[in-house]
Amino acid sequence: MQSLTSVLNRLSVAANKTNIHLIKLTGYIMQVHDFDKTIDIWIASLNGCTNKQLLFKVSHGWSYGQLINHLIENTEFCLSNANICISGNENADEKRSPSAENIFANNQLPNIDIKGPASNDSTPQPDDVESLKRKMTALKLEMNLLLEKILSTQFSGKTQHPGLGFFDASEWLQFAEIHLRHHFKHKDKFELARIESGY
């Protein structure tokens, strides 16, 4: 795994080559920092988790393992869309929805349980803890490499979020971190309930 320092050094070089404004570069650096910090919290939550505990449920709904799989799938979706955005200029003039404007302005989702797409209902149960940790770690690497691509691309396309309008690549990366952080409250509920039940 590359260190954050080495990634940021290469971001600075890429930014100089493309004459990206310092303020914009600082924003990208903060995205790397925030994403790494947030996903590290999720990885740490798995360090003390057993394969059996991945099956634990607070109530009717996802198990803890399914929650982690949901986070991985959603983050992969965001990064995939960011890659599309830097491959062309399609939808460059499209806008975010008013709800998305509020989310990005506040850098967080509303503190409510949001009903996701129907595909969420089929989120699979993971095989084991180690496979989840590997996937989370791989997402960190992909995120860092993607930021380098964003800095070197000449394209500024957008793709459509299922309910929030159109995002550019940088917005997809920000939204990925926002979504990971939004589920901290569910992580805390799982951990507290697991301790109380002795599971």
Question: What count of other Cβ atoms lies within 10 Å of the Cβ of residue 151?
Answer: 21
pLDDT band at 119 (very low <50, low <70, confident <90, very high): low
Distance of alpha carbon 62 from alpha carbon 104, whole angstroms: 27
Can you give the pLDDT at residue 38? 96
Distance of alpha carbon 188 from alpha carbon 45, whole angstroms: 10
pLDDT band at 162 (very low <50, low <70, confident <90, very high): very high
Q: What percent of the chain has pLDDT over 70?
A: 81
- Comparing CA positions, the residue from 96, 109, 111 lying closest to residue 163 is 96
The tens digit of pLDDT for each residue in 10-49 reads 655 655 555 555 556 667 778 888 999 999 999 999 988 8
Can you give the pLDDT at residue 88? 96
Mean pLDDT of all residues in the chain? Answer: 85
- Looking at the domain 4-197, which fold is it? Four Helix Bundle (Hemerythrin (Met), subunit A) (1.20.120)
Helices (H) and strands (E) in the chain, counts: 7, 2
| Mean pLDDT of the 50-76 span | 90
Sort strands 165-167 and 159-161 into parallel, antiparallel or unpaired.
antiparallel
Q: Which residues contact 29 (CB under 8 A, 6 or more apart)?
A: 8, 11
